[in-house]
Structure 1
Amino acid sequence: MTHIVQIAPAISSGSGVAGVAHALEREFIAAGATVERFTAAEAGRPSGFRGRTPLATHLTRARNVVWFSTVGTRRARRFLAERPDAIAITHNDVMAGDIYVNHGLLQAAMRARGDYAWRMVRNPVHLFTAVRDRIRYRGRTHRAVVALTTNEAELLRSTYGRVRAPIHVIPNGVDIERFRPPDAAERVQARAELGVDDDRTIAVFIGHEFERKGLPIAIQSLGTAPEVLLLVIGGSPDMIRRAQAQARTAGVSERVHFVGTHRDPIPFLWASDVLVLPSAYEANALVVLEALACGLPVVSTRVGFAPDILIDGENGFLVERSAKAVGARLDELSSQPLDGWRVRARQTAEQYAWPQIARRYLELIESMRRGGVGAALGQGTPDDAGDEAGG
């Protein structure tokens, strides 16, 4: 029987890394594997203050990253030593485990936001993370690395030069039972709760980092998409106030609706017609899959999973990171029936249901149990895959 240990700061239902690990755990168990967890809680993370200010929250998160990367690593290695038959899948921080899932590259994210050197130097945890991950990828910490997209696999190689472990591209999945197109009544109710009639085209933006994810571009794009309303999910009060000012400056404030942060995006996806994501960097952008699963075409820049999954004119559009390019596609979609787009979007997402994605992990695990990890990125042989994947 396959024995799997998942290592992550937290594992729970929902979004983010914790939600990914939880979805994989569910599917591994359904496939007959024995699964254990090693989280920060199991590692004995000390309790700390829970500040209500942004600074206190930032300091708590920074401390947790350093603690789980150092103390958590030592305790994870002891935990795994007691389970020599297990294959360990690590998500974030800990420097142990057979397979490391790369959920994002700090350096790439900071470069995308601009002022790279200043952003790195002003935050000691960024410098710590950069050094930690260079050791991770250039050394022998893991036997295999999973990149969530082909773009991310290339970024790994361009950032670190030679990644010693072979790189395998396995995307995140989506819960196609939870994320599904609404029926007619559900759509009417979702729109009624927003106070929008069914004749208007709604483009939804979901994300917290407004600048990196391109909200200012989405707002400006409304100037060339006059029939489109923009629904914004996420952001802190200060971020929303700045974005509202940007909308007023652009002269489109009456067509931008901010609803703040919500744990469940589904009602807003059901109310919408298209997802817009003019982001500068994404490791994966799970929201793209979630939107497709709900039947929404996607207008996105060439980041994260979008180039792997979007086909221009079929289930969305890949665009340059400019208001003109985004607005042109939103305007095009607002001027035509979207029934066919919705069907094609849903069909795309169904190919990435979590059972299929978990099966790909299980195939990698089986390869490792047989003594190899397979050719990385479709290159080489098991013996030379590590060198070729690292460039």
Structure 2
Amino acid sequence: MNPIVQIAPFIGPGSGVAGVAWNLQNEFEARGRRVDSFTVATAQRRPERPWPRHPFFRVLALFRRMVWFTTVGTVRARRFLRERPAAVSICHNNVMTGDIYVNHGVVGAAMRARGQGTWRMVRNPTHVFTFVRDAIRYRWGLHRVVVALSPSEAETLRRVYGRVRSRIVVIPNGVDLDAFHPPTDEERRAARAAFHLEDDARVVLFVGHEFARKGLHLAIDALQTAPSVLLLVVGGNAQAIEAARARADAGGVAERVLFVGTRTDLPLFFAAADMLTLPSAYEANALVVLEALAAGLPVVCTRVGYAPEVVVDGSNGCLVDADAREIGRAFERLAAADSADWSKRARASVEHLGWPDVAARYLDLVDEIAREKARARPSARGVSAA
């Protein structure tokens, strides 16, 4: 069996790109596959210099790391792969090489979805750099295969970048069905006690760091139409939380919004909540939606990206427009419903998306590419000999 190389800035437990790569690596290794990793730490020859904690310098450090890993990291990743000629490589971000590239989002689509897309692009050099980098990636066909996380995201790639020379294959993200599960009565009582929630309180959960893109303002405004629910907000930085708290205060709903900041113990929050909301302007494939459904929470979300392909309106959640009143009515509908029925349907809707099943689809693709490379090698030697 051919070894696998995963390329990503970071690989580790959690959410986002790092978490996806980490879960895939665990599943590959569980099937006896050798997996090597190429990350920022692999590419660096000395420890990264610490940066001041001010937000401006954090943004500057992120941009610097992105450019460095895209340029220098690409050169070193190619050298890393040359030393492993039998390996099939899966690239998750930044680096401009690899047999398979997993598209975790389209920056142009994300900016356009929020309005004034051109202005949002040009005012942030990170967005401009990412767009140009990926235009080169897709139009020059730097990878054998591009993995899109949903059929709609495959269409978004073609719409934003025009011709995508690499073959596009759709493989969704997965979810850890063991870590995320409907809570027992004891787990729910303990989770509610942690946040001093009454037994009859109906709790809407919001999880995300980019409050504006993920629609927290809509969820807060929706409380004016949903007087029977509370909103529990996980994520964000101090500045974003302060602005969101001011909006809740202006709308007269501040006493029904609890901000807890960045947390990693998401199962605790899923156990305490009755539903998840994510009224985003754009999502490629929100892992938190899959995790919430696996935990038995119905989801109230906008019809963007992967959501309409996993959330069935009226069955495991509610699909809504980006309208606070409509979102509020969905909150009230779920708050008044039989939670046990919704929980069963939510869980059942993602049981086919466990990481073992998703990893198996990646391995089928890896083995297909390995056979293609094996067929090409004798041909290449024959040409050289001639």
Do both proteins adopt the same fold according to a TM-score greater than 0.5, normalized to the shorter chain? yes
Q: Distance in 2 between matches of 1:174 and 1:75?
A: 32
Instruction: Give the residue type in structure 1 aligned to 2:282.
Output: Y
Mapping for residues 10-89 of structure 1, pairs under 5 Å:
10-44=10-44, 46=46, 47-89=48-90
Q: Is the 8 A contact 1:219 1:247 kept in 2?
A: yes
Q: Secondary structure at the match of 1:89?
A: strand
Name the counterpart of 1:367.
368
Q: Distance in 2 between matches of 1:332 and 1:45?
A: 56
Q: Secondary structure at the match of 2:372?
A: coil
Name the counterpart of 1:161.
162
Name the counterpart of 2:2.
2
Name the counterpart of 2:231.
230
Instruction: Give the residue type in structure 1 aligned to 2:163.
Output: R
Q: Is the 8 A contact 2:77 2:95 kept in 1?
A: yes
Range moving further from structure 2, 121-130 or 348-357: 121-130
The structural deviation recorded for 1:107 is: 1.1
Q: Distance in 1 between matches of 2:45 and 2:153?
A: 30
**CA RMSD, 1 decimal:** 1.3
Count of residues in Structure 1 that have an aligned counterpart in Structure 2:
372
TM-score by length of 1: 0.93
Q: Is the 8 A contact 2:222 2:327 kept in 1?
A: yes
Name the counterpart of 1:214.
215
Q: Distance in 1 between matches of 2:253 and 2:207?
A: 19
For 1:248-286, what per-residue CA distance to the aligned partner results, in whole angstroms no more than 9, with x for missing partners? 221211111111111221111110000011100111110
Q: Distance in 1 between matches of 2:184 and 2:229?
A: 22
The structural deviation recorded for 1:115 is: 3.0
Q: Is the 8 A contact 1:180 1:294 kept in 2?
A: yes
Residue 317 of structure 2 corresponds to residue 316 of structure 1? yes
Q: Is the 8 A contact 2:101 2:145 kept in 1?
A: yes
The structural deviation recorded for 1:339 is: 0.2
Q: Secondary structure at the match of 2:230?
A: strand
For 1:281-314, what per-residue CA distance to the aligned partner results, in whole angstroms no more than 9, with x for missing partners? 1111100001011110001101232111111111
Q: Distance in 2 between matches of 1:39 and 1:4?
A: 14
Name the counterpart of 1:135.
136
For 1:176-223, what per-residue CA distance to the aligned partner results, in whole angstroms no more than 9, with x for missing partners? 111111111110111111111121110100111111111111111112
The structural deviation recorded for 1:45 is: 5.8
Name the counterpart of 2:384.
none
The structural deviation recorded for 1:116 is: 2.2
Instruction: Give the residue type in structure 1 aligned to 2:21.
Output: A
Q: Distance in 1 between matches of 2:127 and 2:228?
A: 42
Q: Distance in 2 between matches of 1:140 and 1:194?
A: 50
Name the counterpart of 1:109.
110
Q: Distance in 2 between matches of 1:126 and 1:218?
A: 26
Name the counterpart of 1:326.
327
Q: List gaps (5 residues or longer) in structure 1.
A: 373-391
Instruction: Give the residue type in structure 1 aligned to 2:39.
Output: T
Q: Secondary structure at the match of 2:90?
A: strand
Q: List gaps (5 residues or longer) in structure 2.
A: 374-386
Instruction: Give the residue type in structure 2 aligned to 1:201.
Output: R
TM-score by length of 2: 0.94
Q: Distance in 2 between matches of 1:148 and 1:355?
A: 16
Q: Is the 8 A contact 1:181 1:293 kept in 2?
A: yes
Q: Is the 8 A contact 1:48 1:60 kept in 2?
A: no
Residue 243 of structure 2 corresponds to residue 242 of structure 1? yes
Range moving further from structure 2, 291-300 or 111-120: 111-120
Name the counterpart of 1:380.
none
Residue 258 of structure 2 corresponds to residue 265 of structure 1? no
Mapping for residues 337-352 of structure 1, pairs under 5 Å:
337-352=338-353
Q: Distance in 2 between matches of 1:325 and 1:151?
A: 24
Q: Distance in 1 between matches of 2:69 and 2:55?
A: 21
Q: Distance in 1 between matches of 2:226 and 2:292?
A: 20
Name the counterpart of 2:379.
none
Identity %: 56
Q: Distance in 2 between matches of 1:113 and 1:254?
A: 28
Instruction: Give the residue type in structure 2 aligned to 1:323.
Output: A
Q: Distance in 2 between matches of 1:50 and 1:112?
A: 32
Q: Secondary structure at the match of 1:280?
A: coil
Q: Is the 8 A contact 1:209 1:235 kept in 2?
A: yes
Instruction: Give the residue type in structure 1 aligned to 2:89.
Output: A
The structural deviation recorded for 1:2 is: 2.5
Q: Secondary structure at the match of 1:283?
A: coil
Range moving further from structure 2, 302-311 or 109-118: 109-118
Q: Secondary structure at the match of 2:206?
A: strand
Q: Distance in 1 between matches of 2:45 and 2:109?
A: 29
